[in-house]
Structure 1
C-alpha cells in the first residue's frame, strides 16, 4: 500500500490501538482532572442522554436495561483526553514488530495454543480458520485476555458521541451496546473495554459483537470477556465472515530486486506468484517463490520505502478488515507463524 508520511502515521496509530501498545508509547496524559476542552459544553449531557434513551427504546431496548446502562454514567474527561492525546508516533514497522511479536508473547502464545489445542481444533474446523491465527489475534488484541481495558463501555461511547468529532459513528456504537445489554449477554457493570469502546478479549466494537460474537461454549451467552471458547469462536467467525480461506496462509517476507517499480507495492495490485518470480522477487533466504501454489498475491511494504517487504494473499486482506493497518496485519501473520513453529 502506498502513501506518504501522513498515511503512514495514521496506519501506525491504528496499529498501536489494535496491538495493545497505545498505553506503552503514549505521552503522559493528565487524567482525573477536569480540563476545559475548547468549545465543549457538557451542561446538556444529561439531556442528550435522554435523547439516546428515546432512540434506543424505539429499537426495543427496555426501560430497565436503560436504567441499568446509564446508572452513574457521567461525561468522562479522561476518555476525551486520551482520544485527543493519541501519540503522533513515528515508530518504524521493525520497532513495532519487535514490541508486538516479542519472545515473551510468542512463548505465551505457544503455551496457550498447546493448552487449548482441543478447543482450538474444534473451533478451527467449524469455521475453517487455522488455530494459530485465532491465537495470534487474541494475543495482539488483549495479550491473551490480560489487557481488556477497564472503561465502562456505555460511558466511554456516550462521552465520545457527545463530544462530537465522530458523533454519528459513536452514537451508533452506543445504541449497539445498549442492544447487547438488552440481550443479557453481559451486565452493564461488566461491559468493560478500552476508552475507544472496544470490548473484551478480542476487542470487538459493539457493531462487530452483534455481527460476529458467538456462544461457542453453549451456556446461552456470547461472553467475549470471560469465556475462552466464546472468544475463540468469535474471532474465527469474524475471519470466516470476511472471506477467510482455510487452505491458504497470509503471506511471506520477500527480497526485492534492486530496480523494482515502486508502483507495484500496493494492495490494489494482484499478480500470480509466477509473475512476481519473473519480476525478480525471492524468498528472504534467496530461494525461489513457491510458484507451485497458484495464488494471487499483492506486494506490501509497511514502511512504504524502507524496511521489510511481504507478498500477501487473500487472508491478509481479511485481517485488514479487522484493523486497516499493514503494521497490524503483518504482525498478526508473523505471530501466527512463530506460534506454529514452536
Structure 2
C-alpha cells in the first residue's frame, strides 16, 4: 500500500519530547486484565529555569473568531453543528505559537539534543521495559523491540509525560496562526471527528502543544488511520494502554517502509580529503562509499542486505562532529519526526538498549541558534542567490543544501553546517 503524503507530514510537526525528564522507575508488568493506570500529564507551561523569558505572544480574539467561522465553512459540512459545539468558547493558546517557533530538534545543535535524548539513564530505563512490547507486535510488524522502546521513551518518557494540552485548542491555534494552516485544519478536523465519533471524550483528548497524543505521540490523522487495538477491547487507547500505543507505533513504522533485518545506520569515519559536498546528497550503496575511503567507525561492514541499500552520509554537526551512514530505516524514523537529530536520537537510544557500544567520535560544543539567526541566515542565503526554499526558521535539508552551495562558491569546506558565527557572517554580508 502506498504511504500517504499526510503520513510524511506527521513528521514535520509532531511535538516529540526527547528532552523529557527521566522516567520513573519501571514497575512490574501489570495483570493484562487490570485497567492500566493513567499516566501523569506534563504541565502545559514551559519549565522554570529554562532561560530568558520569551517575548509574549499577542493574539487577536476577533481574528480568531473570523478564522473559526471560515474553518466551519470550509470543513464543517454535515458535521458543522457538532464541530461548532466543540469549538464554542475556544480561545487561541499563545504558548502554542511560541513553542511552534522554537522546536528544539531544529534549533539546538545535534549533539546537545542527541546526548540528552540518548542518555545512559534513558537507555537503562528502556532496557528495563523491553518486556512491555508484546511479542505479537514485533512478529506482526517486523519493527524491533529496541526501536519501539526508544520511540516510547523519547516521545513520552515511557508514557509518564504525554502532554496536558487540549488537542483541539492547540490545533485550532496552529491553524489560526497560519504558518501551516492547511495541515493544521486537516488535523483539527480529524481531532473533532475523534470526539464526535465517540472514540475519545473531549476531556481525555490531551496531548502536546502541537496536537500529538498519547504514549507514542500520534497526530489525529495517524491515530485514525494507523491506531491499533492490540488489547482487543474495542478501543485504540494510546493514552492508557502500553500495548495499543506500541502496536500503533509499530504499524506506523511498518507502513512507512521499515525493513526488517536491517539497522537504521552506522557511525562512520571519513577519509582525509573527503568531498563533504557529497554529504546529504545522492544515495549510494556501501560499495560506493567504501571505495571512497569511508569505513565503519568500529570496523566491519554492513550486512549483505544493508550493503545493497542506497545510503547517505550525514554530518549532523558538520565536519567536526560524528558522521553517519544513513540507511533506509533512518528515513522511516523520520516519518515520525522529520528531523535528523530526532532520528539519530531514536536510533542511538535503540542501539544502546540492544547493547551496542556508543559513538567513537565526540560532539562539538556549539552554541544553539536563535530564531533570529536561523531566519536571518535563510534570508541572507536567498538574497545572496542561494535559495533556501522558504524562510521559516527551520534549518532543514533545503537550508543545508543552500548553505553547501554557498560554501562551494566561497571555496570553503562544504559541510552544510550552520553555526552561530556563520549565521552572523551571512547576515552581515547580506546587509
Same fold per superposition (TM over 0.5): yes
The one-character-per-residue Cα deviations of 1:195-234 (angstroms, maximum 9, x if unpaired) are 1211111112222222221211111111111111111111
Query: Equivalences for 1:1-342 in 2 at 5 Å?
Result: 17-21=15-19, 27-29=51-53, 37=58, 40-46=59-65, 48-53=67-72, 55-58=74-77, 61=79, 63=81, 67=85, 69-70=86-87, 72-84=89-101, 91-114=108-131, 116-117=132-133, 119=134, 121-266=135-280, 268-285=281-298, 287-290=299-302, 292-293=304-305, 294-296=307-309, 297-341=311-355
Q: Which has the higher contact order (CA 8 A, sep 6+)?
A: 1
TM-score, normalised with respect to structure 1 = 0.83
The one-character-per-residue Cα deviations of 1:150-184 (angstroms, maximum 9, x if unpaired) are 11011111122123333222112111111122232
- Seen in structure 2, the aligned counterparts of structure 1 residues 16 and 123 have a Cα distance that, compared at 3 Å, is closer
Q: Does structure 2 retain, via aligned residues, the 8 Å contact 1:73–1:155?
A: yes
Which stretches in structure 2 are left out of the alignment for 5+ residues? 1-11, 21-45, 357-431
The one-character-per-residue Cα deviations of 1:259-281 (angstroms, maximum 9, x if unpaired) are 11112212x42222223222212
Count of aligned positions: 317
Which stretches in structure 1 are left out of the alignment for 5+ residues? 1-13
SS at match of 2:61: coil
> Which is worse superposed, 15-24 or 124-133?
15-24
Q: Does structure 2 retain, via aligned residues, the 8 Å contact 1:62–1:182?
A: no
- Seen in structure 2, the aligned counterparts of structure 1 residues 328 and 245 have a Cα distance that, compared at 3 Å, is same
SS at match of 1:96: helix
SS at match of 1:218: coil
Aligned partners of 1:15, 1:164: CA distance in 2, in Å?
A: 14
Aligned partners of 1:105, 1:324: CA distance in 2, in Å?
A: 22
> Which is worse superposed, 19-28 or 327-336?
19-28
Quote the offset at 1:78 in angstroms: 2.8
Quote the offset at 1:258 in angstroms: 1.2
Aligned partners of 2:237, 2:319: CA distance in 1, in Å?
A: 42
- Seen in structure 2, the aligned counterparts of structure 1 residues 223 and 88 have a Cα distance that, compared at 3 Å, is closer
